[in-house]
């Protein structure tokens, strides 16, 4: 059964999600993790030119704290750390894809 929203509660929910995703690099990081991809920290450094190590670490920590990205540390030397979308993060894929399609229509 679908939840009934008032305009205020709907706006509040969407604003909360937008705050979770704000940040120059978060969406780029998420798009690199779509389709079940697993990335290591060094992969992101190569895939996202211009991002500093400090900013990459900060954005990944925030996405992890918000439950969108999971971080797996393997006990080996050198340490191996992998990032992937959580189930909740995967649920964002269709919404972001729809937003991308909406943006494409605006560009026409």
Residue 6: pLDDT above 80? yes
Sequence ranges of the domains in the chain: 13-107
Does the domain at residues 13-107 carry the CATH identifier 1.10.10.10?
Answer: yes
Q: 32-89 pLDDT, tens per residue?
A: 999 889 999 999 999 999 999 999 999 999 999 999 999 999 999 988 999 999 999 9
CA 1 – CA 63 distance, rounded (Å): 29
Q: What pLDDT, on the 0 to 100 scale, is given for residue 28?
A: 96
Per-residue confidence band for 108, with pLDDT thresholds at 50, 70 and 90: low
């Amino acid at each position: 059964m679908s939840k009934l929203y008032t305009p205020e509660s709907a706006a509040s929910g969407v604003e909360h999600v937008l705050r979770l995703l704000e940040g120059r690099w978060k969406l780029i990081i998420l798009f690199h993790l779509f389709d079940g991809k697993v990335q290591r920290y060094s992969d992101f450094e190569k895939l996202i030119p211009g991002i500093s190590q400090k900013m990459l670490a900060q954005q990944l920590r925030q996405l992890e704290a918000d439950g969108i990205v999971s971080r797996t540390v393997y006990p080996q030397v050198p340490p191996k750390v992998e990032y992937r979308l959580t189930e909740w993060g995967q649920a964002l894929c269709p919404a972001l894809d729809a937003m991308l399609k909406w943006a494409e229509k605006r560009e026409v």
